Amino acid sequence: MTMVLAVGLLSACEVIPENEQITEVFTPTDPSAIKRTSVLIEYSGWQCVNCPTAAEEAHHLKEQYGENLVVVVMHPESNPNTRHNNKPQLNYTCPEADSLYIMMGGTNTTPFPTGNVNLVKDATKGYFNDYDKWATLVSQAYSTPKPVIIGQEVKGTTDSKDITITIDITNAGSEMIDATLQVWLTEDNVIGSQKKPEGTDKNYAHNHLMRASISPLWGDAVRLEAQQKEQLTYHYTLPENVVKENCNIVALVSVNGEVIQAKETKVGS
């Protein structure tokens, strides 16, 4: 079926009612041949002296897994490591990052750096994991493929910050899946301050930085019939404070709160 959503940079997300829905049957794909892409959420702050070490770990994992790992770095305002004292040049926070952090149980005493893989909550440890655990969690997720494929296309013009995002979600399995789609905006190469053990680096490159949620934060419900494809389209205006060429669109498909497939696409690519 085809669902068209329009999301603008407004005080709240504006959703256009669903258009005529079309079902597309596709050539069967062997589910075991589908590689799972995970999302690593890295909670960080410019005042956290050990966060650059965690960022290096995320970078190494990204080099290892390539397109099968999406990294999203969040600076939640509820943690003192992100405090900026109303100085715009030190503010890398966004409301959506803070909402996710609080949902995961984050407080003003949660130690940084910390992270999460695929929005999975451990029965005893909760959502947060030290960076020395990330490699194991990503490896475990990679070895448990899911029968879902994400295709994503981002279009726009060079003289405008208006973009159109088309996302195809294919269920290659034999059973229907009730899923949720989240679509996020991230930005690379945001040059600014970062504290390190040896002092403050004022030319630090913040990469994978969470800027906004394009879909509703908790996602849009998508019913994936077996052996069929669903398509969703979002119309969005990039915020004024981002560099379009450095932006990425991250799509996450979740089932029962766990991300089972992810996709990252550069804006304009």
**260: pLDDT strictly greater than 90:** yes
Cα torsion angle, 42, 211, 11, 18, sign: negative
Q: Give the pLDDT of residue 29.
A: 62
Residue of 3, 5, 14, 7 whose CA lies nearest to 237: 7
Cα torsion angle, 159, 164, 165, 166, sign: negative
Q: Give the pLDDT of residue 103.
A: 97
Q: Greatest CA separation found in the chain?
A: 59
> What does the pLDDT average to over 51-75?
98
Instruction: Report the alpha-carbon distance of residue 129 to residue 38 in Å, rounded.
Output: 15
For 91-131, the pLDDT digits (tens) are 999 999 999 999 999 999 999 999 999 999 999 989 999 99
Q: Give the pLDDT of residue 33.
A: 79
> What does the pLDDT average to over 55-64?
98
The least confident of 58-62, 156-160, 210-214 is 156-160
Q: Give the pLDDT of residue 25.
A: 53
> What does the pLDDT average to over 161-189?
97
Q: Give the pLDDT of residue 86.
A: 86
Q: Give the pLDDT of residue 15.
A: 41
For 6-44, the pLDDT digits (tens) are 443 332 334 433 433 444 555 556 666 799 999 999 999
Structure tokens at 267: 């804006």
Give Cβ neighbours of residue 33 (< 8 Å, ≥ 6 apart): none
CATH of segment(s) 2-266:
2.60.40.10
Residue 60 per-residue DSSP state: H
Domain boundaries, the chain: 2-266
> What does the pLDDT average to over 205-231?
97
